[in-house]
Chains A and B, each alone.
Chain A
Amino acid sequence: MNKVINFYKRNLKEILRDPIIYIFCLGFPVAMFLLFYIINKFSNGNTPTFEVLSLLPGIIVFSYSFVMLTLAIVVSKDKQTFFLKRLYSSPMKSYHFILGYFFVGLIVGLLQTLVCIITGFIISLISNVSFISISSVLLLIIAQLPVLITNIFLGILFGTIFNDKSAPGICSVFISLSGILGGCWMPIETMGAFELFCRFLPFYPSVYIGRIITNSTNAIGITYSFNNVAFLGLIPIFIFMLGSIILTVVAFKKNMVSDK
């Protein structure tokens, strides 16, 4: 475990000393929150998706895609600068590397969640809307852990497979997918077959479950509840989580002893 902690500390320092994390992981979700709050305010509150309690789970899930981007950049740079190659000849094993990156992603992701929650709380105070209880906040954090884990492992995977120029490009596709197919700012429940498609991916079910916890209302005025969408949504959430873990472990082990 010492090697994991040692590598985790190095990764955390490396990430915290790079301004990109403050722009993407902390600044961007807050900016999105404020933007949609302003849009909703100027549309006289006619957009339920933009209400603070509906927006909160969406922004949290969307923001995790920036954790993926950050990790993909760090891993691909470590690979590109041959820093990882050098470590591969040390007694470190693949799980030391993967866990060292994972824990940094987890910390950054949880910090992002807190920033989103605090921003949501401040906006709820400004707009005179009652916020969720502490227990709901904790439940919301726990409920979004699987999609955070998926994003962390996808970040490590993309950084392992692609170089530092192509990895951010691949991540930007996933960032767009997470935003559009997660229903963060789009009333997916009114889109028929498109909604059905979104249920097979982890983003929309994660946002949906989050909205059940925040007790928010969808675009057609119905309060989110634990129905089939949420229940069956757990399947893609966990399949994607396990799939990303397995693929990352396989790809990283292969990368450690390359045949190039």
Chain B
Amino acid sequence: MNIITIENVCKNYKTKKALDNVSLTIKKGELFGLLGVNGAGKTTLIKILCGLTYKTSGTIMINNFNLDKEIDKIKEIIDISPQETSVANNLTVKENLEFFANIYNNNNANTVNKIVDIFNLNEVVNQRAKTLSGGYKRRLSIAIALISKPKILFLDEPTLGLDVFARRELWNIIKKLQKDITIILTSHYLEEIENLCDRVAILSNGKLLKTGTIKELKQMTKAKSFEDAFIKLVEAKSE
């Protein structure tokens, strides 16, 4: 069953086409990767899906709600962890989680404690967010996105700027989450996409190049590694 259906979506800025006739579907419970080099249109697509920016044309259905007409219903079932670790800096970890839980009328001690446990935030729970390390901040940012118990979670470059250990730890957490919710993840780390995602969409200059599993994309391009497959697809488009 498709939880997100995107049909012929375009996004034009004054001098640039950020998305050019993009169509794709994402299944319920899938961990779906949006892959592309910088400026490919990944973040723009996520912003449109979250109602943070307007699309120029096309149709988007999320959980059978039309994005143009039922954005309020969509906002109840989605959450996002943006590229930037956007947390309330002067609030403690616990206060941050409680604040976001209250927005969704979901604040009870159990929910907060459970999230603190899942993300191993126990030792910093009473620490102000501005004093946290990059890894902890990123974990808090994703934990905040989960406190609303979303049906769909957007993770925009979730491991950007993290060291290899913090990245691996986050991967493990994301893998655990996948069982319950649909996750749309953007990254330009190929190994991250390869490790985590069930299916991948490759974007380049606003255009959707291909969609499929890692295996399918490798077979399609007759490449040995996913990195080779990605490079072949992007280069073939630009030629």
**A residues apposed to B, CB below 8 Å:** 2-3, 6, 9-10, 13-14, 17-18, 81-83, 85-92, 257-260
Contact = CB atoms under 8 A, between A and B. Distances in A.
Contacts of A2: 102, 105
Q: Is the interface of B mostly helix, strand, loop or mixed?
A: loop
Interface of B: 13, 50-54, 72, 75-76, 78-80, 82-84, 86-91, 95, 99-100, 102-105, 128, 144, 148
A6 B50 contact: no
Contacts of B51: 88-89, 257
Rank and list the top 3 A-B pairs by shortest CB-CB distance, nearest first. Answer: A82-B86, A89-B50, A82-B84
Contacts of B89: 14, 81
7 contacts: A10-B91, A13-B90, A17-B128, A82-B82, A88-B52, A90-B100, A91-B104
B125 to A, nearest CB: 16
B148 A90 contact: yes
Contacts, number: 72
B88 A14 contact: yes
A17 B90 contact: yes
B82 A258 contact: no
B82 A259 contact: no
A6 B103 contact: yes
A18 B84 CA distance: 22
Contacts of A9: 99
Contact of A257 (B13, B54, B88, B100): B54
A91 B88 contact: no
A84 B89 CA distance: 13
B80 A6 contact: no
A258 B47 CA distance: 10
Contacts of A13: 90-91, 95
A81 B75 contact: no
Contact of A90 (B54, B75, B84, B90): B75
A3 B100 CA distance: 10
B53 A10 contact: no
Given A2-B105, A89-B78, A258 B53 contact: yes
Q: Which of A82, A86, A91, A92 has the most CB of B within 10 A?
A: A86
Interface centre among B78, B86, B91, B100 (most CB of A within 10 A): B86
A3 to B, nearest CB: 6
Nearest to A93: B72
A260 B53 contact: yes
Contacts of B50: 89
Contacts of B100: 90
Contacts of A90: 75, 79, 100, 103-104, 148
A18 B82 CA distance: 25
Contacts of A91: 72, 75-76, 103-104
Contacts of B52: 85, 88-89, 257-258
Contacts of B75: 89-91
A89 B67 CA distance: 12
B162 to A, nearest CB: 17
A6 B99 contact: yes
A92 B148 CA distance: 13
Contacts of B99: 6, 9-10
B53 A14 contact: no
A243 B91 CA distance: 33
A1 to B, nearest CB: 12
Contacts of B80: 86, 89
B86 A259 contact: no
B43 to A, nearest CB: 11
B191 to A, nearest CB: 26
A75 to B, nearest CB: 13
A48 B148 CA distance: 60
A14 B90 contact: yes
A10 B88 CA distance: 8
Nearest to A260: B53
Given A82-B82, A260-B53, A18 B90 contact: yes
A70 to B, nearest CB: 13
A105 B194 CA distance: 49
A194 B13 CA distance: 47
Contact of A83 (B53, B86, B105, B148): B86
Contacts of B88: 10, 14, 83
Contacts of B144: 86
A14 B87 contact: no
Contacts of A14: 88-91
